[in-house]
């Protein structure tokens, strides 16, 4: 018999790609849930059962997880640095989603549960310089995560751990490092740096402008993971026998200025940079250390930043020029 899978946050970026992947596997009956109205889902598939529900509500969690075998929790209120720094309470309210989904999964005897965490859980003291060493899973403690969003993710990781220890619910946790790629938000306030910078350079090129605005001084560094690697790593962690928290990310750390140069080469268009030093920029440096996931699962990322940005740039360019889905992917 087919396994019944619940994808929470399926109308979002990662959830939509996960739904697409599992649909191709043909071994699952898939239930997709997101708080957004269906017309605003980034990807939607008629073969799946699709519902618009607020999963902060326990009764909704209990209903959609009934007779479900697997739960993938990708649902949270989040965005780029500008959004999470200015909406801390809203981000922390996502703790209700994971808490109520775990409670419902216990009641409904769910077989396995995956929680999507974030590199924002890591201790800020390890991220105060550019080009810092990659962060290992144990570097989340002693706890000093990103205020708001990071605390919610770290607390929810521990909820998964304790539901596993106390109630026997099989849980898996992945810590994503800056996921990007096609079919994601590129405007409206929730977009992350790769999509935002692609959009800015595309618009500058189309309007013949010679500059773009950059938040911070451009020296802050990150590693960015292409969406295909994200889905591959997620599935491998979910299918594994290990209950560890795993980094799922790229180890290719670049500065924002270096990423702009890569996008300029893709666009074949050079821009000047107007640095906005009063804008949110987050920690100075952050990158993934994949030692544990390589050792335990043999997984590593495959897409270079150059290749992933090319695919992302081409998709955003086409969407902007065509204007067909523009409102969907730039809404806040």
Q: CA 79, CA 71: separation in Å to the nearest integer?
A: 22
Residue with tokens 């702009």: 260
* Half-sphere exposure of residue 154: CA atoms within 13 angstroms, side-chain side: 20
Note whether 227 and 180 are within 8 A (CB): yes
Q: CA 244, CA 226: separation in Å to the nearest integer?
A: 22
Helix or strand (DSSP H, E) at 136 = none
Q: CA 105, CA 15: separation in Å to the nearest integer?
A: 19
Helix or strand (DSSP H, E) at 226 = strand 225-226
Q: Which of 70, 113, 122, 149 is catalytic?
A: 149
Structure-block tokens of residue 86: 């200015």
Tell me how far apart the terminal alpha carbons of the chain are, to the nearest angstrom.
40
Q: CA 162, CA 141: separation in Å to the nearest integer?
A: 17
Residues 6+ apart with CB under 8 A from 229: 248, 250, 301, 302, 303
Q: CA 329, CA 12: separation in Å to the nearest integer?
A: 10
Q: CA 219, CA 291: separation in Å to the nearest integer?
A: 26
Note whether 226 and 192 are within 8 A (CB): no
Q: CA 48, CA 29: separation in Å to the nearest integer?
A: 7
Give yes or no: 176 in active site: no
Helix or strand (DSSP H, E) at 246 = strand 245-248
Distances 37 to 29, 34, 44 between C-alpha atoms, Å: 22, 8, 11
Which positions are catalytic? 149
């Amino acid at each position: 018999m087919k396994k019944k899978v619940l994808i929470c946050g399926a109308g979002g970026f990662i959830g939509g790609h996960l739904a697409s992947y599992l649909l191709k596997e043909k071994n699952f009956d898939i239930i997709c849930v997101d708080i957004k109205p269906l017309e605003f889902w980034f990807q939607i598939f008629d073969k799946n059962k699709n519902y618009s529900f607020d999963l902060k509500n326990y009764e909704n969690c209990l209903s959609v997880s009934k007779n479900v075998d697997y739960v993938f929790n990708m649902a949270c209120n989040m965005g780029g640095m500008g959004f999470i720094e200015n909406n801390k309470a809203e981000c922390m309210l996502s703790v209700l989603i994971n808490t109520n989904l775990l409670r419902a999964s216990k009641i409904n005897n769910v077989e396995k549960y995956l929680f999507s965490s974030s590199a924002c859980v890591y201790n800020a003291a390890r991220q105060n310089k550019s080009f810092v060493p990659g962060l290992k899973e144990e570097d989340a403690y002693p706890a000093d995560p990103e205020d708001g969003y990071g605390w919610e993710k770290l607390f929810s990781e521990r909820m998964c751990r304790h539901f596993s220890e106390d109630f026997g619910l099989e849980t898996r946790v992945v810590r994503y490092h800056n996921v990007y790629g096609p079919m994601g938000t590129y405007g409206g306030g929730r977009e992350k740096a790769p999509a935002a910078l692609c959009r800015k350079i595309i618009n500058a090129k189309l309007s013949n402008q010679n500059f773009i605005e950059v938040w911070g001084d451009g020296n802050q560094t990150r590693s960015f993971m292409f969406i295909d690697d994200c889905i591959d790593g997620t599935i491998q962690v979910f299918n594994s026998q290990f209950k560890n928290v795993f980094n799922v990310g790229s180890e290719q750390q670049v500065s924002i200025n270096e990423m702009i140069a890569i996008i300029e080469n893709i666009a074949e268009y050079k821009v000047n940079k107007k640095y906005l030093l009063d804008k949110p920029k987050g920690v100075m440096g952050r990158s993934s250390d994949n030692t544990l996931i390589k050792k335990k699962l043999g997984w590593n990322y495959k897409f270079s930043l150059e290749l992933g940005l090319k695919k992302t740039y081409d998709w955003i360019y086409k969407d902007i020029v065509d204007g067909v889905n523009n409102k969907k992917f730039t809404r806040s």
